[in-house]
Copies of this chain bind each other. A is one copy, B any other.
Amino acid sequence: MFLINGRFSDSVSVQDRGLQYGDGIFETIAMWKGKSLCWEAHYRRLEEGCKRLGMHCPTEDLLSSEIHQLPVTGPRSVVKIIVTRGPGGRGYQPPDPTPTPTRILGLFPWPDFPPEHATAGIKARICSTRLGKNPQLAGIKHLNRLEQVLARGEWSSPDIAEGLMLDCDNAIIEGTMSNLFCVKDDVLITPDLSSCGIAGIIRGYILESATQLNIETSIQTFTRRELFSMDELFLCNSVIGIWPIREIEQGAFALGPRTLEIRALLIRKEIIAE
């Protein structure tokens, strides 16, 4: 079910720059009990992405009213918003004047991930597909996602819930669809995303919330070897919430107290769905 530029439809112009060049931005939003969780933060990131790409951004009111036009049923669903630069232009050059962006809102059922992923933890792997580094595109959720597609295509076993990706200089960056947190000596550590990776909304809330829990935080660069020396590991995104990592290849990790504490806080604050 898609609402495209305000009309229910399932097709877009073949000349849309989203298709031609991946020239756009997206957001994936959890709908829980009729609310778009973390809407303000999602909109702010969308706005920041549009700004970085030099595109107009639809207003918050317009997108918010369009979300409410989607026929949401049941307690949990997922809304994906894509905003592209719109159709046309000669080659790579963005059209002048800047066109009205294309708005695509898609409503999806909640994915059928096993609930134990969040409560008992998951098995992850390390992907061989790397993330290229480009500070100009780092952090934002743009439509150039081939690296994630190739990384996620590396395995098909349902036993493995997520894959971790390294950058081309061997630093651990994130999961294919999630951000990574580690706990080491009671410090909450997450990879630096200034050169690549997506700065997730839940990642942002966790960094903010840690202060409330009196947990020291650190944004840093670390390698695969350091990863295996961490006390606790977990992944997060807007839909999965928090998934503790129990196993990566030959390494085993405890389902630690900090992970559980942070997950409970985020559910209580309605930042993630239960």
Interface residue ranges, A against B (CB under 8 Å): 2, 4, 9-23, 53-54, 82, 84-85, 90-94, 96, 104, 106, 111, 129-137, 142-153, 156, 168, 176-177, 196
Contacts and interface: CB of A to CB of B under 8 A. Distances in A.
B143 A132 contact: no
Contact of A19 (B18, B133, B177): B18
A93 B144 contact: no
A94 B137 contact: no
A132 B196 contact: yes
A96 B156 contact: yes
13 contacts: A10-B13, A11-B12, A12-B19, A14-B104, A19-B143, A20-B145, A21-B145, A23-B149, A94-B153, A130-B136, A132-B133, A137-B147, A143-B146
Given A13-B10, A133-B133, A145-B144, A92 B23 contact: no
Contacts of A150: 53-54, 136
